[in-house]
Structures are given as C-alpha cells and as structure tokens.
Amino acid sequence: MFNPDIVKPENLVYKRTDVLTKAVMHYCPGCGHGTTHRIVAEVIEEMGIQDKAICIAPVGCSVLAYNYFEVDSLGAAHGRAPALATAIQRLFPDHHTFTYQGDGDLAAIGTAETIHACNRGENIVIIFINNGIYGMTGGQMAPTTLIGMKTATSPYGRTVELNGYPLQITELLAELPGTYYVTRQSVHTAAAVRKTKRAIRQAFENQKNKKGTSFVEVVSNCNSGWKMTAPKANEWMVENMFVKYPIGDIKVDGEKVK
C-alpha cells in the first residue's frame, strides 16, 4: 500500500545519479549499455570526480555516450579513443580520462591504438563492451563474433576458414606489462551489476593512484542484432559468449590471476 508520508529525502535509498544527463537513451531495451553507463556515472559521482572526468565516446552504438554522461566529453574517430585519452591524460595528469568502446571500435579498427596505449601503461580507464557484433550499423560480424554465429556479413555463420578466430583481445592485453588491471564482467543480473560496479570503481581508483591502464570488459547482449528477445539473448550470452569470454578478473594489481 502506498504511503505518501514516507516520501522524504531522509528515506531515500536509491536515485538517479546527476552524472547522467536527463536525455532519453537511444539504446535498445535489454541492452547492457544503459546499465553500464549508469554504473560508470555512479562511480564518478561516488568518487567526487565529475569535474575531472573526461569521457571519450567511440564510433558504434555508444557514439552518443557524450549525450548521457554529464561530464566534459569528446567524440573520437572510429577506434581512436585510446589515442585521444593518451594525450588528454598526459596533458591533465590528475584528471580521470576514460574511453567507452565497443568490440568493433576497440578490437578491429582501433587495435593498434588499444594495444599501444595499454603497452605504454597510459593512466587511463578503458570500458569495453563486447557483444560480438556491430550493433549500430545493423548487425555485421565483429572480431569477437563466435564461430557459427550468424550476422549480416556472416549470414551462414562465422567460419574459421573464411573469417578466422574470435579475438580474445582482453586476454591479449593482459599479457602487456603496461596493464595494471584487466577484468571481464557482465551486467545481466543484479549480482553481476554489483560485481561490475566494484570492478569499475577499482579501475578509477587505480587511475587516481596512477597505476597505469585499467581495462574493464563488459560482455553484453545485442538482442536486436542477435535477433532474440532480451531474456533469450541473456540466456544465449551465458551459454555461448561466457564460454569463449569467461567472466572474472584476468589481471589484478599488475599480476595475472592464476
């Protein structure tokens, strides 16, 4: 039963964060982008770093991320976000520059920028959304697309013969001495959201302590690109994506997790 008398500021247990704008997000219902945006924004608010946070938006589904984060932002050319972040963080060493990139942006066209920023140990945070597909351009094959997965450019399913193997870029980056923290998370359950929030908080804390590159992959569904309902897409993600892209920490405090 609704009791209007209890609606008071002192009873507030949950609210939207002011680090997100009031713009209506364009993301598909059930997609992980909205949740991940909110987590990043909450971490920025909780750490009190809104005035020092610089968001680098990619090209891809999150191309308009700068409309949602209430922080100063730049839209990068496709794949170049880590190059922008490199310069900005070196020019403002006490700022919190972070990139927010998808799998096509980070692991295909921007592979060089990603690997070299991580290898130099740039003191930046990289948030990497991996849904195994190019969502924005209409569901084409990504470097992380699983073998057998049907996309607009692999209509009969991805094959090794034609397309090579799904790229485990996160494991590859963990091999580089410049990365301090490399983890893979998801946002499909409340428990997963809480873990991802801890991971993203850890990444920004590392940056505050000038530890080098922190890299947080979030495996997400692309229900429209995968042509499934949102709940079905999450099930498929757990059964298939998590096999190739297992959830958990890969490198913590500069050491590979055994």
Partner 1 sequence: MAKELKLMKGNEAIAEAAIRSGCDGYFGYPITPQSEVMEYLMAEKPWERTGMVVLQAESETSSINMVYGGAGVGKKVMTSSSSPGISLMQEGLTYLAGAELPAIIANVVRGGPGLGTIQPSQADYFQATKGGGHGDYQLFVLAPATVQEMYDFVFLGWEIAFKYRNPVMILSDGAIGQVMEKLYVGDYVPRWTDEELKKNAPWASYGKPANREHHIITSLELDSAKQEEHNHKLQAKYREMEEKEVRFETIDCEDADYIFVAYGSSARIAQKAIQLGREKGIKVGLLRPITLFPFPKKPIAEFSKKVKGILTVEMSAGQMVEDVRLAAEFRCPVEHFGRYGGIIHTPHEVLEALEEKIIKAK
Rounded CA separation 211/165 (Å) = 32
Q: Are 135 and 60 in contact (CB under 8 A)?
A: yes
Report the residue from 1, 7, 24, 91 that binds partner 1 according to the rule CB under 8 A: 91
CA atoms within 13 A on the CB side of 195: 17
| Least CB distance to partner 1 at residue 27 (A) | 15
| Least CB distance to partner 1 at residue 25 (A) | 15
47 lies in the site for partner 1, by CB under 8 A: no
113 lies in the site for partner 1, by CB under 8 A: yes
Rounded CA separation 37/41 (Å) = 6
| Least CB distance to partner 1 at residue 116 (A) | 4
Q: Are 65 and 21 in contact (CB under 8 A)?
A: no
Report the residue from 17, 45, 73, 178 that binds partner 1 according to the rule CB under 8 A: 73
Q: What is the CA radius of gyration of the chain?
A: 18
| Least CB distance to partner 1 at residue 201 (A) | 20
Q: Are 212 and 178 in contact (CB under 8 A)?
A: yes
- Count, in order, helices (H) and strands (E) of the chain: 10, 10
Report the residue from 33, 95, 188, 197 that binds partner 1 according to the rule CB under 8 A: 95
Matching residue, tokens 């013969």: 161
Amino acid at 82: P
Report the residue from 17, 67, 137, 140 that binds partner 1 according to the rule CB under 8 A: 67
Q: How many CB atoms lie within 10 A of CB 112?
A: 12
> Binding segment for partner 1 among 81-89, 174-182, 191-199, 221-229 (CB under 8 A)?
81-89
38 lies in the site for partner 1, by CB under 8 A: no
| Least CB distance to partner 1 at residue 2 (A) | 35
The site for partner 1 (CB under 8 A) is made up of 21, 50-54, 56-57, 63-64, 66-67, 69-77, 80, 83-88, 90-92, 95, 112-113, 116
